Chain A
Amino acid sequence: MKREMQKDSPLYPAVGVQTGLIGGVLAVLLGLIGMVETFHQRYIVEELLSMGQALLGMTFILLCYLAARHSPTIKSALVRGILCGLIMACSLWTLVLLGEQINLRAMFINASPQLFEILTFHRGTGKGGLILAAAGGLFGLFCGLLSFSSPGLRRMVFTALGVVVSAGVLQDLIRPTLSAWPGLEGWSERLFAANGLRPSGAVVLFVLTACSSLFGSWKGKAIQNRFQRLSPERRRLVHYGGVSAAFVLILFLPWILGLFFSEVLTIVGLYVLLGLGLNIVVGFAGLLDLGYVAFFAIGAYVTALLTSPELGFFHFSFWSALPFAVGLGIIAGVLLGIPVLNMRGDYLAIATLGFGEIIRILVLSDFLRPWLGGAQGIGRIPKPALGGWELATPQEIYYLILAGCLLAVFLSFRLRNSRLGRAWMAIREDEDVAQALGINLVTTKLLAFATGAGLSALSGAIFAAKLGSVYPHSFNVMISINILCLIIVGGMGSIPGVIVGAAALVGLPELLREFAEYRLLVYGAALLAMMLLKPEGLWPEAVHRRELHAGGKEEE
């Protein structure tokens, strides 16, 4: 009781100190794992703000804001925010001091002089430390003020900052996109320099988004109401108009973005396809399958076996091999589904993980080498051909993947609201109740496994044809985890969520090559953060959102 009262007393700074210490540990960790230094190579604003600095800055803003939030008075908000910022800056400075005294590198390989240079703004320990402290204090002040501003203003600042940072991060994507349109080349020149935004460009972008955000909070409600008042026919017209515009855009995307980004798009597309399949198993039916990559491998290996001249058992074309690949995938889904029928939750996860690993180990072993190629894999898989047209470049393969994704989206949408989809969701919510309501658990679960496996095998077949070769190392448990991650981040059970998740978790790392090393770290952190803060995902499914925010906590 006493502690509670102390916490609410206006100047009580403990929250600031506590958050500051947590933030300090976090910031030091970001430096020591090498993220700051790696990201320092790319600038967000030319010569002014690097991505590494932005990363640290965002950590400062986040934690100072958390510290200042829920303060009773503006004075205590400011005190908490500034304290938090100062403590974080001090922890970083302590790291620099320590690094100068002793050789931290013997233990932490990333505690390099370059890191310390970055942290002290290349100004030496003393002066740099002061600048660092000042920056921390300013961040705290800024967040303290922000926590007491109106929600509209807060949203405006955060959106504008977010847009500027994303524009800087995605510069390689935005620049060619802008140049592809005849009228917009000038804009690309005006906004971007060789490495990062121009300072003037950043300001323009900030002001523009801030204005549009202001306009949104001023008029947004009115526009929404106006749309609600439209007659159903016209509303549908607007809806279909939007969808067909998006479709046309998707259709021409590879030609707008060029070869490299088409390659990225094909990878994202394959993950969307995989994600949609796993979404049926995990998102709809609630069966946590960690061996999902096995079906991907089966699809790829069947295609390779049937088409590649390297082993020479069969000489199918891609199109005639495809049904076999998908069919065998489905059969494997059912076969692996049968033994795990009466397992739940964690047992199911571990058993499927075991299955996935068994398959990978078998493929890798010398035992099956004469048939599956062992560690060397199978090469020389022919490209798919349509009539006389061979789908060889990423831009052409893209359409194959797009077709697969559209099929998967269509299937998912149709299945979700079907009798079967409802049965899956009933099982997800409560297996015993579902069974009591007359749902046949065996067939329903097996259908979920089979559908998911089929989509995964389809994805695998396209993957094999795209790459031209298959190796057992492409099919490790990480792939299953990646896919799980993207459907969780997107929102379990949500179909657009899968696409958003794939774009964010697969597309982004492909665009930022510096990021690749930290990819799985960020995945793990994303899983943790999503589960702790926003378990329904970025683009949640309506039912799930209602369920997680239904007020009362759910009992097991």
Chain B
Amino acid sequence: MGKAWRKQVGIIDWIMWGIGAGVLALILFGSVVTLKAGIYSGRHWLDFLIFGLAQGSIYALIAMGYTMVYGVLRMINFAHGEVFMSGPYTAYFLAASFYRSGFLEAHPAWSLILIFLLSVGVSAGIAFLLERIAYRPLREAPRLIPLITAIGASFFLQYVFRGLYGSGFQAYPVIKALEGHWSLFHLPILKFQVMVIFSAAFLLAVLYSFIQKSRLGKAIRAVSEDREAASLMAVDVDRMISLTFVVGGAAAGAAGVLYALMFKQVHFFMGFMPGIKAFTAAVLGGIGNIPGAMLGGIFLGLIESVGPSLFLDGLGIPAPYQLKDAIAFTLLVLVLIFRPTGILGERLAVKKA
């Protein structure tokens, strides 16, 4: 898409900039009115911020998988949301059985660690199998075909889980150690939110250093840079692609466990929305760009929790929280229109087909 394209669609460009300016003006107007009216106190805003941060760090973890897979294969792994969903399901069954045997009460830390590791393992395994069975045979196929395969895989996994475990919501057992508040500067903060934020931050740091520093991480980056050159440099491309799926799947599984800690229930359809949101986060940060995905996730989480009250209340829209998904999608569409390379810029923009 060079300059010729821009010239050709001049009028359409104007329309789109008009839409953008309109949206921006609405947002500004809404925020000013909300802030002036003073509907929410500082406490509220802090709650929104912490919740947004927790949610955003979960999105960031899921977004890592999207961005890494897009880096190596140039495809959107639509089924990533289901890989995410498999984590909390495993965690649920483990937690329930630990709860029944009393292990959870006796050793909360050990059982949490065990739950976490096993769930992450299951998610990574599903991601690995997904790549092996569904995507590997189609690596050279025209672009639309792996995408449709991914959509198929996504629904297949969802409904296999539904068939195996039933279609209802399953509630998590209460983990006593994570109930209650901590106070920070005399302000109460929910324990599990702090726990989610810190574990997500830790995992993101581990992941980041794995990708930037370790040999395997370098090999993955080499494959996403140029697959053929990497294979000439004795990088086993197939294995690196598998590894990418495993690492991405593990991150998604971890995110799933944290998500379940926050929302305390599992459902076979729970992967769909966070999946799309995390994809939005990946696009926001510039797809293929790993720090970008982290920042994008956190940004999206914050916007989603602060946005409805900040932007929409002032416009006099009733029950603005119902529209939080619409805010995320609008953000996605706006980013795709105006800055498809994302906030930090897409490292792979040049080679995008």
Contact with B along A98-116 (1 / 0, CB 8 A): 0000000011111000000
On whether the beta carbons of B333 and A524 are closer than 8 Å, the reply is no
On whether the beta carbons of A350 and B12 are closer than 8 Å, the reply is no
**Which of B76, B156, B319, B323 is A524 in contact with, Cβ under 8 Å?**
B156
Q: Tell me, yes or no, whether B332 is within 8 Å of chain A by CB.
A: yes
Q: Which of A154-162, A262-270, A355-363 contacts B (4 or more CB under 8 A)?
A: A355-363
**Which of A341, A358, A525 is B12 in contact with, Cβ under 8 Å?**
A341
Task: Enumerate chain A residues within 8 angstroms of B332, measured Cβ to Cβ.
Answer: 350-351, 354
Contact with A along B1-17 (1 / 0, CB 8 A): 10001001100100110
Q: Tell me, yes or no, whether A233 is within 8 Å of chain B by CB.
A: no
Q: Tell me, yes or no, whether A366 is within 8 Å of chain B by CB.
A: yes
On whether the beta carbons of B329 and A554 are closer than 8 Å, the reply is no
What total of chain A residues lie within 8 Å of the partner, measured CB to CB? 61
Within 8 A of B (CB), among A325-379: 338-347, 349-351, 353-355, 357-358, 361-362, 364-367
On whether the beta carbons of B76 and A521 are closer than 8 Å, the reply is no
On whether the beta carbons of B323 and A521 are closer than 8 Å, the reply is no
On whether the beta carbons of B276 and A528 are closer than 8 Å, the reply is no
On whether the beta carbons of A554 and B141 are closer than 8 Å, the reply is yes
Q: Tell me, yes or no, whether A34 is within 8 Å of chain B by CB.
A: yes
Q: Tell me, yes or no, whether B142 is within 8 Å of chain A by CB.
A: yes
- Tell me the bound Cα distance from A447 to B146 in angstroms: 26
Within 8 A of B (CB), among A136-189: none
On whether the beta carbons of B140 and A342 are closer than 8 Å, the reply is no
- Tell me the bound Cα distance from A485 to B162 in angstroms: 20
Contact with B along A490-525 (1 / 0, CB 8 A): 000000000000000000000000000110110111
On whether the beta carbons of A524 and B157 are closer than 8 Å, the reply is yes
Contact with A along B162-197 (1 / 0, CB 8 A): 111110000000000000000000000000000000
On whether the beta carbons of A527 and B164 are closer than 8 Å, the reply is no
Known contacts A338-B12, A345-B144, A442-B9; A367 and B319 CB within 8 A of each other: yes
On whether the beta carbons of A346 and B147 are closer than 8 Å, the reply is yes
Q: Tell me, yes or no, whether A88 is within 8 Å of chain B by CB.
A: no
Which of A286, A358, A525: most chain B Cβ within 10 A? A358
Within 8 A of A (CB), among B77-128: 93, 97
Contact with A along B135-168 (1 / 0, CB 8 A): 0011011111111110111111111101111100
In the complex, the chain A residue whose C-beta lies closest to that of B15 is A338
- Tell me the bound Cα distance from A338 to B97 in angstroms: 53
Task: Enumerate chain B residues within 8 angstroms of A109, measured Cβ to Cβ.
Answer: 164-166
Q: Tell me, yes or no, whether A243 is within 8 Å of chain B by CB.
A: no
**Which of B12, B149, B318 is A527 in contact with, Cβ under 8 Å?**
B149
**Which of B155, B318, B329 is A357 in contact with, Cβ under 8 Å?**
B329
- Tell me the bound Cα distance from A541 to B95 in angstroms: 52
On whether the beta carbons of B76 and A33 are closer than 8 Å, the reply is no
Q: Tell me, yes or no, whether B28 is within 8 Å of chain A by CB.
A: no
On whether the beta carbons of A342 and B1 are closer than 8 Å, the reply is yes
Q: Tell me, yes or no, whether B19 is within 8 Å of chain A by CB.
A: yes
Task: Enumerate chain B residues within 8 angstroms of A556, measured Cβ to Cβ.
Answer: 74, 142-143, 353
- Tell me the bound Cα distance from A51 to B129 in angstroms: 29
Q: Tell me, yes or no, whether A526 is within 8 Å of chain B by CB.
A: yes
- Tell me the bound Cα distance from A355 to B155 in angstroms: 20
Known contacts A346-B76, A367-B318, A484-B148; A339 and B337 CB within 8 A of each other: yes
A–B complex contacts, Cβ < 8 Å, 20 sampled: A339-B337, A342-B9, A343-B340, A345-B147, A346-B147, A347-B283, A350-B276, A353-B276, A358-B330, A362-B326, A367-B323, A518-B159, A523-B152, A524-B156, A524-B158, A527-B148, A528-B153, A554-B142, A556-B142, A556-B143
Give me 19 other A-B pairs in contact (C-beta within 8 A), A355-B329, A358-B333 excluded.
A35-B163, A339-B16, A346-B143, A347-B336, A351-B337, A354-B329, A361-B326, A367-B319, A367-B323, A440-B8, A518-B163, A521-B162, A524-B153, A524-B154, A527-B155, A531-B138, A531-B149, A532-B149, A554-B140
